[in-house]
């Protein structure tokens, strides 16, 4: 499902107009990104939580040239699904 399909599905389920639904989804994504950027966790009980993890620097290999490269440390986002989401998907 892509963003327009998600907007349609939520609009049908809630009875909201598509432009209102699109504004809500865009605001939700912006708030989650801003929170993660600040280092905060976003938790939706039953659905899951968005958080960040630190990746240590490491050695790698350029697949084209086979030269060794140094991959710098960085912070990456991750999502941990909640129990209810796991149960629904497992059925």
The predicted-structure confidence for 16-41, as pLDDT tens digits, reads as follows: 999 999 999 999 999 999 999 999 99
Does residue 85 fall inside a structural domain? Answer: no
What pLDDT does 91 receive?
Answer: 86
Any domain includes 47:
no
| 28: containing domain | 1-40
Number of domains in the chain: 1
CB atoms under 10 Å from CB of 52, counted, come to 17
**Domain membership flag for residue 31:** yes
Side by side, which strands form the sheet with 48-55?
A: 42-44, 48-55, 74-81
Q: Using CB atoms within 10 A of its CB, is residue 64 exposed (0-12), middle (13-18) or buried (19+)?
A: exposed
Residue 66, in any domain of the structure: no
In a domain? residue 25: yes
- Evaluate whether 67 touches 61 at the Cβ level (below 8 Å): yes
- pTM for the structure as a whole: 0.81
In a domain, 80, yes or no: no
pLDDT of 48 above 90? yes
Q: If you average pLDDT over residues 70-76, what whole number do you get?
A: 96
Give the integer Cα–Cα distance in Å for 82 and 60: 33
């Amino acid at each position: 499902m892509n963003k327009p399909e998600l907007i349609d599905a939520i609009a049908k389920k809630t009875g909201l107009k598509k432009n209102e639904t699109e504004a809500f989804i865009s605001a939700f994504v912006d708030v989650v990104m801003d929170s993660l950027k600040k280092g905060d966790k976003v938790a939706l009980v039953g659905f899951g939580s968005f958080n960040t993890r630190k990746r240590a620097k490491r050695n790698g290999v350029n697949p084209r040239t086979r030269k060794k490269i140094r991959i710098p440390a960085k912070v990456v986002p991750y999502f941990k699904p909640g129990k209810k989401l796991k149960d629904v998907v497992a059925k």
